Structure 1
Amino acid sequence: MGGRNPIEIFQAEAPDVARAFDDLIKAIVASKGLDEKTKQLIYIALKASNGDLMAVNAHVPMAKKLGATRAEVVDAILMTLTISGIRGVVSCLPEAVKHFED
């Protein structure tokens, strides 16, 4: 894989689709209904519900930079219990809280 992350591979293999996907993300981020921190917390919860540790690890620092607290990130991940069971909690919570151990 040459050290490239999955997003870099996606961009290299399907640049037009990757650009369209990036434009979609930018449009969602630009929407005004929720503040950016809340959007990040929701995204963390959604990704944790799928057990997507890579995405959770990418978005927890973004949420933290926007002012999210450890308790808010923990609660966002705990919200997944009623949707997808314990999977997101056991796969994502331990790594998510490490971002607050400095």
Structure 2
Amino acid sequence: MKDRLLISNAFQTFLTEAPEHQKVWMETVKKWGEASQLDKKTEALSYLSVLAALRLEGGLPFHVKQAKAVGATREEVISAILVGLPAAGNVVIQSLPIALNAYDQE
């Protein structure tokens, strides 16, 4: 239940109000993960980069905790957030305090 607090209101609403859609979505996500050739830590860090570049800050706390759980260091999270800086611009720095706050929480 603790992870539920890390989920954005929008995603929580999706889970609650569209259970059949979320079931299909989660099955797809699972299959996508199984098809990935990336190790779990690289995949988690890459996902953080995408979230930062797309300014999807609501998903960061949950996904930072996932990255940490598979061995990502605080420095790797910082690098993952900032890797998109040259391509996406300084919008990615908006994600940095959110990601670090999530990483630093127990």
Q: TM-score, normalised by structure 2?
A: 0.80
- 1:95 lines up with 2:98 in the alignment: yes
Between 77-86 and 23-32, the greater mean CA deviation after superposition: 23-32
When the two chains are superposed, the root-mean-square deviation of aligned CA atoms in Å is 2.1
What stretches of structure 2 of length at least 5 have no aligned partner? 1-7
Q: TM-score, normalised by structure 1?
A: 0.83
Equivalent position of 1:14 in the other structure: 18
Moved over 6 A (4+): none
What stretches of structure 1 of length at least 5 have no aligned partner? none
Residue 31 of structure 1, aligned match among 31, 35, 43: 35
Q: If you compute each CA radius of gyration, which structure gives the higher value, 1 or 2?
A: 1
Percent of residue pairs identical: 32
Residue 51 of structure 1, aligned match among 49, 52, 55: 55
Residue 83 of structure 2, aligned match among 79, 85, 95: 79
Q: How many residues align?
A: 99
